[in-house]
Amino acid sequence: MPIMAKMRDNLPAILLSLVILFLLTIVLDWGMDITGRHHREGAYREPIGKVNGEEISYQEFNQALEFEIENYKQRTGNDPDDFMLEQLRNQVWEQIVTRKLIEQEIKKLGITVTDEEISDWVLNSPETLPEPVKRNFVDSTGNIDRTLLERALKSTTPQARQFWIEVEKFLKAQKLTEKLQSRLLASIRVSDGEIKERFEKQNTRYEIKYISLDPNKFAKEITEPNDDEIREYYKIHQDEFRIQETRRLKYVVFSDAPSSEDSASVLRELENFKQQALQGADFVELVKNYSEIPHSDVFFKHGELLPEIENEIWDKKVDEIVGPLKLSDGFHLIKILDERKGSDTFVRASHILVPLSRDTAESYKLAKEILALAKKGEDFAKLAGTFSVDQATARKGGDLGWFGKGRMVKEFEEACFKAKPGEIVGPVRTQYGLHIIKVVAKDNRELKIADLKLSVRASSETIESQRKRAQDFSHTVSGKNFVQEASALGLDIKTTPPFTKDSPIPGIGLNKTISDWAFSNKIGSVSPVFKIKGGFAVFTITEIKEAGIRPLEEVREAIKVRIRREKLKNKAFDYLADLRKKLNENEGLDGITKFDSTIEVKTASGFTLSGGIPGIGSDENVLGKLLDMKPNQISQPIKGNSFVYIIQLVNKTSFDSSAYKSQYETLKEQIYNEKRNTLFFIWLDNLKKNAKIVDNRSLYFEQ
């Protein structure tokens, strides 16, 4: 490919990459909140937002949004629906705010990149260039083709000039982020001790003996917390009862699910396709052009199709059209294209399962009575519903559907394949009990079908109708009793638990727009319409709690539980400490049973500390102690998360110096990356908390 054509083809990708470069290089995927839907004309005089006084223009926001929408289309093959569009809007907002904060910090820190640095990078280290740039100058082996690079650098065509202008921007942005990271992360150190501890936690295997004592054993021996104890605990632990400002909301949702008319519309469409096919249209071509699932030119055996489809088509003849069938995923119109005899035989059977009780003879007697009734012509399905303990099939008249060999236990399978269609056999004993079996049919046919499937989606009319209902309700209920008005309309009123501004709203999820509204209004306020997953919501604020320390009376019961739990743990600890004093070290932990025969000494082996201890779990109090113990050492009592323990280290694998050496750099990088990510996100979070961010999206988008 000529160099200019190659650069021209790659230019759009580079230009688009520039939009999100900072985010791609140092920011991970940020959470998505929900914004409004409709653009408001005539609101362009105000910027869509500001970050520390720096404006975000509507054009900048819209270009980034169009980029994300196009990305979404390429990933999914679909246009974003209302809910996803709102998620994308908020994702773009967070990206732009984050990028501007980072750019501002780069300027504040005086970080710059010179033209000489970029030139030196391209000329002397082209193999380290970012992939979007480097891929323009590699040969068939993936190595830099310096001749190709030099020709591109010397080219004076307009396309080449534009290409290098954009590449320079790209590389400068890359260098700026690298320098920022170096500045931020210069203090990060990973010690040999940290690496060794990580290695031991992941590689050393332990064998231990332990006893675990449930503190609740002493429930009758402790006194209930008195008022003085409660007050003292509250005084000492006040910071633990400090709360952020919270809101509680009530809300109603106007569903945007497909209406009955939407279903009817899809049904009419499929009926139309059916008529076209009956009049000679190529059904396979209809499937290829209109079906939401691709046509598969294969033969299906029993059990390879959905039961709802199999039950409808298997007794049909070639060229018959079945449906439309309504299934959970939409409507299906199916044509039988061909059939053939397969090598595998399948059975369709129903059964009645009688449990085997201790009195086996009595169980057999009942099974034979049921068998006799079935053979006399009693309705097998009703008998299954009455007598079978296999509830999953009893609800379906005992129907097991179609199955081939190897699907059922041996005794059951042999009885089914030996019997003739229509024959009732039994009782057949298996590990599950006694079976009365009715063989409904046998078949070795395989079918080729064409399946025209259409989902039922809410039409624009349905969506707009529900949006208008929500808007009308929001206007009507303002200033009135929210609950009474909603109840009068038969609406389901939902209530959120208290939530903080930056936390997910229970039942809704993370939604900055709704949170901002809730924390900017007073009790009784009625919201505009917000789009949430599942429909259009209208909220009212029912409770506001300011930040501070929760009153004693509000946390009294929680404190009582804490004090009681601590008393129980102390009692269990003291009890084990007394036994530990009596224990002869030479006898090992097993010797403790001499003093309390109810105590069970348990074992756990073959585990690493990173995976937790079988029977104990990832209790850091126990794991931390075990890390420092030597073989045969017996610990003092350890207060765990729930129980109190004494452990004895029986053995642990020796330190593998060779494995440690081979894993050293990997573990060092692993720990470094963890520290880097933690430090960066703390830094970025502080930037956001201290920034003055103005969000004017409500001027541009209706809720």
Reported as a single tens digit per residue, the pLDDT across 220-273 is 998 999 999 999 999 999 999 988 899 999 999 999 889 889 999 999 999 999
pLDDT tier for residue 470 given thresholds of 50, 70 and 90: very high
Q: Per-residue pLDDT tens for 16-47?
A: 344 344 444 444 333 333 233 344 444 446 78
Whether the domain at 205-216+554-652 and the domain at 245-257+459-546 fall into the same CATH topology: yes
**Given this model, what pLDDT does residue 566 score?**
94
**Given this model, what pLDDT does residue 391 score?**
85
Q: Is the pLDDT of residue 89 over 70?
A: yes
**Given this model, what pLDDT does residue 543 score?**
94
Q: Per-residue pLDDT tens for 345-380?
A: 899 999 999 888 777 888 898 999 999 999 988 899
d(CA 598, CA 489): 63
Please give the average per-residue pLDDT across 199-217, as a whole number: 92
Q: Among 2-16, 64-78, 88-102, 657-671, which is the least confidently predicted range?
A: 2-16
Q: Is the pLDDT of residue 306 over 90?
A: no
Q: Would you give the DSSP letter of residue 288? A: H
**Given this model, what pLDDT does residue 67 score?**
87
**Given this model, what pLDDT does residue 90 score?**
84
Q: Is the pLDDT of residue 430 over 70?
A: yes
Q: Is the pLDDT of residue 493 over 90?
A: yes
Within 478-529, strands assigned E span 494-495, 499-500
Asked whether the beta carbons of 434 and 428 are under 8 A apart, the reply is yes
**Angle formed at CA 450 by CA 268 and CA 344, multiple of 5 degrees:** 140
- Phi/psi for 333 (5° steps) reads -120, 120
Nearest Cα to 466, choosing from 253, 668, 159? 253
Looking at the DSSP bridge assignments, the partners of residue 441 are 348
Q: Is the pLDDT of residue 515 over 50?
A: yes
**Given this model, what pLDDT does residue 45 score?**
60
Residue 270 token pair: 């499929």
Asked whether the beta carbons of 292 and 455 are under 8 A apart, the reply is yes
Q: Per-residue pLDDT tens for 594-627?
A: 999 899 999 999 999 888 899 898 888 999 898 8
Asked whether the beta carbons of 510 and 87 are under 8 A apart, the reply is no
**Given this model, what pLDDT does residue 184 score?**
84
Burial class (CB within 10 angstroms; exposed 0-12, middle 13-18, buried 19+) of 224: exposed
Asked whether the beta carbons of 538 and 474 are under 8 A apart, the reply is yes
The CATH class of the 205-216+554-652 domain is: alpha beta
| Region for 386 from its dihedrals, namely left if φ exceeds 0, alpha if ψ lies in -120 to 50, beta otherwise | alpha
**Given this model, what pLDDT does residue 31 score?**
30
Please give the average per-residue pLDDT across 84-112, as a whole number: 88
Looking at the DSSP bridge assignments, the partners of residue 617 are 613
The CATH class of the 245-257+459-546 domain is: alpha beta
Break the chain into its structural domains and give their ranges.
3-183, 205-216+554-652, 245-257+459-546, 260-457
Nearest Cα to 117, choosing from 172, 74, 164, 72? 172
The distance of Cα 158 from the centroid of its chain, to the nearest Å, equals 48
Indicate the average pLDDT of the chain. 86
Q: Is the pLDDT of residue 536 over 90?
A: yes
d(CA 350, CA 340): 26
Q: Is the pLDDT of residue 339 over 80?
A: yes
Please give the average per-residue pLDDT across 640-663, as a whole number: 92
**Residue that the structure tokens 């009681």 belong to:** 564
pLDDT tier for residue 584 given thresholds of 50, 70 and 90: confident
- One of 3.10.50.40, 3.40.50.2000, 3.30.420.40, 3.40.718.10 is the CATH number of 260-457, namely 3.10.50.40
Q: Is the pLDDT of residue 12 over 80?
A: no
Q: How much of the chain is helix, strand and coil, in % rounded to 5?
A: 50, 20, 30
d(CA 257, CA 254): 9
**Given this model, what pLDDT does residue 702 score?**
54
Q: How far is CA 285 from CA 289, 350, 455, 456, in A?
A: 6, 39, 19, 21
Is pTM, for the whole model, over 0.75? no
